[in-house]
Chains A and B, each alone.
Chain A
Amino acid sequence: MTRSVRVVGGGMLALCGLVALGWLSRLPYTTQRDSGALVRLAWRTRGERVRECRHRTPEELAKLPPHMREDDVCEGRVLPYRLVVKLDDTLEADAMVRASGAREDRPIYVYHEFPLAPGTHRVSIDFERQGAPGEVENEERAEHEREETGRAERARRAEPGRLQLDTTLVLSDREIALVTYNADERRLVIREK
């Protein structure tokens, strides 16, 4: 291979590599449909916290170290919600939303996205707390606990057991309508840019 061929060939190859580098560093890509809108459900709620208590048996107590022999064992959790979403009267989601955390004792987070064509759409959302207080094994004790601390009562006042939204949306191309919880108004609201 002559020197001139090497110089020209090497230069061309370097330039090709450079162009490929520049091209691949800014190649257009469609992450979602070119045309389309989105309804995004995103909110956080502390939910209704309940405690489930029971008495330990004498055998159980005997197995524990002396300093850990509490008569009662209690576990707290947040009641789940049922989320039903209808778009244009079509059922899009019907799911139980459980609290986060391994023991389901952390807040509840809702995050769903529903693609829609641009235009006018009827959106219906129902977010209802599940699990009646009767499910709690030792309701009296749990109720007493709540009254004592007042925290759950405050939570109950702050967040209704049922959130509903039934509205009509007009969405333009690529627009996202956010459905979220407004703590001041204690209801679901639509938030747009």
Chain B
Amino acid sequence: MTSRSPTRRVLTHLDAWMNRLYGWRWNPLYQSGTLVVALLAVLLVTGIYLLLFYRLGLPYASVVRITDQVWVGRWIRGLHRFASDAAVVAAAIHALRLLIQKRSWGPRTLAWVAGLILLFLIFVCGWTGYVMVWDIQGEVLAREGARLLDAIPIFSEPISRTFVGERPIPGAFFFLNLFVHVALPIGLGVLLWIHVSRVARPALLPPRGLMWGAIGLLFLISVVWPIGMSPPADLFRTPGRAEFDWFYAFWLPVVKAVPVWAAWAGGGAVSLALLLTPIWSRPRATARPAPSFVDAQLCTGCEQCYQDCPYEAISMIARPGRAGAAPESDLAAKSEFVAHVDPSLCVSCGICAGSCAPMGVGPPGRTGRDQLSGARAFAAEWNGKAPAVVIAGCTRSAGAAHGRPMFDGVPVLPVNCAGNLHTSVIEYLLRSGAGGVLVVSCPPRDCWNREGPKWLEQRMHHDREAELQERVDRRRVRLVHVAEGQPELVASALAQFRSEIEALERAAAEAAIDVMHECEPPVTAEEVP
């Protein structure tokens, strides 16, 4: 049994519960990253509307005017606010998931760091957005921001002086604030591009139903429980008690209670710890999975691994030495291009191994050939008595989690990722006598390697290279997606599959009966008395 961290166990249970309620396709925890993008789009659209009515010279009065538009402005402002809150929650969940799943180091470092900066910019955007309203919350946020910034000795004049009441708040302040609020989303777009720049085919939006469902719920609360107006900022009155948005002001009680240097030190320490996550969270060097390699002798230059790699770690390069090779040589007969793995981009998912028909690429010990060797050893343990069904399970699914060798009496062949599983292994298991092969992968939206279940499904049923051969009876193979915390679904899928295999076996046994041999020989007309 492999051990899981307590946080991982909690996340597994949460995922399982959300799957039970919403199904893995609509599990919002799986879609937290794409939900952020959808919510940012909502913020952009609603923000443009709000910008049309916002007045720099009359910040508070113009927001009051927007809020007084009962039919449009009020709910658009509410939607803008609730979408910004939900974006923070979704971004935090997304980051936490990746941290707990230890998917924040190595080739994923750039995405992690860019994601953190994205989250920080969302905070700054929200901060400036609340200052724009210039109510009590805006004033307090502005004051605290100024207090923190004044600790940095780069300003010619303390920013806090702006808010002491000595003179009216200059229009330049509101202009600068609005500029930052509007300009930052452009930076968000660039950072989002960097965030996904190292993945192929990034999924940017959640399933349509989930996306519109989430937006619909936010619209609902905007209408049913609309955002009101707090009292206006007053530089000659202490703020007293006022409503605050805790998704953006959660730090206030802490920062107000400590000296500025302590606030900076605390914030800096937390930021540094998060930014250095790729260093402190990575496994020890000896425990890190090795990147894929290419056996140039076996590579046919078909480009399938290049197409399937979810991290764009594989490129096709000119075959070394082929250009000057003699026409009759072996090298000249080979393909012009050969696959090349960039180790700095490879997460060692092994999906390339599953895509390679001649088994010439993959991580050490997990190429197609290595898998076949493993399958041979696996079948040898049956001692000549082939099971009715075997499970080939992704180790992050309920099929093969915790390193269990058997599931409900069925032998389990663990694989690092469903996409790593070579279809020849499935065929080999059937040829070795197994009645059926149940492949259990993690839910596609929670695949740690992004596209494992998708590619395996296409290889099994849609002739994607390296496809499961046509001669394999598809009734004897099944692919199910089950999260780690839902073994009961594997059990029910297994029971159903087992009964179907038994029916197939019965039918096959009946078909094998020689009716002519078993029955009385037919009576000819001449023999009729």
Contact = CB atoms under 8 A, between A and B. Distances in A.
A25 B240 contact: no
B459 interface: no
B82 A25 contact: yes
Interface residues of B, number: 43
A107 B158 CA distance: 11
B158 A31 contact: no
Interface string B112-146: 00000000000000000000000000001000000
A64 interface: no
Interface string B67-88: 0000000000000011001100
B241 A22 contact: no
A106 B221 CA distance: 52
Contacts of B225: 22
Interface in A30-59: 30-34, 36-38, 40, 42-44
A176 interface: yes
A178 B165 contact: yes
Contacts of A111: 158, 160-161, 164
A170 B85 CA distance: 42
B96 interface: no
Contact of A176 (B157, B160, B237, B242): B237
A28 B244 contact: yes
B245 A32 contact: no
B238 A10 contact: no
B221 A18 contact: yes
A57 to B, nearest CB: 33
A193 interface: yes
A164 to B, nearest CB: 19
B221 A21 contact: yes
A22 B244 contact: no
A13 B225 CA distance: 18
A67 interface: no
A10 B237 contact: no
Contact of B21 (A6, A21, A26, A174): A6
Interface string A164-193: 000000000011101010000000000111
Given A6-B21, A44-B161, A192-B236, A31 B246 contact: no
B158 A109 contact: yes
A107 B236 CA distance: 25
A30 B247 contact: no
Contacts of A14: 213, 217
A84 to B, nearest CB: 20
A10 B242 contact: no
Interface stretch (B249-257, B348-356, B407-415): B249-257
B524 interface: no
A62 interface: no
Interface in A97-156: 100, 102, 106-107, 109, 111
A24 B450 CA distance: 33
Given A18-B220, A21-B89, A175 B252 contact: no
A144 to B, nearest CB: 29
B295 interface: no
Contacts of B165: 40, 42, 176, 178, 191, 193
Nearest to A32: B238
Contacts of A10: 21-22
B289 to A, nearest CB: 36
B339 to A, nearest CB: 44
A42 B166 CA distance: 7
B243 interface: yes
B20 interface: yes
B21 A9 contact: yes
Contacts of A42: 161, 164-166
A64 B102 CA distance: 58
Contact of B166 (A22, A178, A193): A178
Given A6-B21, A22-B225, A29-B253, A174 B235 contact: no
B522 interface: no
A91 interface: no
A26 B243 contact: yes
B161 A193 contact: no
Interface string B162-185: 001110000000000000000000
Interface of A: 1, 6, 9-10, 13-14, 18-19, 21-22, 24-34, 36-38, 40, 42-44, 100, 102, 106-107, 109, 111, 174-176, 178, 180, 191-193
Given A32-B239, A111-B160, 4 more contacts: A1-B21, A14-B213, A31-B238, A107-B157
12 contacts: A6-B20, A29-B241, A32-B239, A37-B238, A38-B238, A42-B166, A44-B157, A102-B153, A176-B238, A191-B165, A191-B166, A193-B165
Interface of B: 20-22, 81-82, 85-86, 89, 140, 153, 156-158, 160-161, 164-166, 213, 217-218, 220-221, 225, 227, 234-247, 249, 252-253, 256
Closest 6 CB pairs of A and B: A193-B236, A42-B164, A10-B21, A26-B243, A30-B241, A31-B239
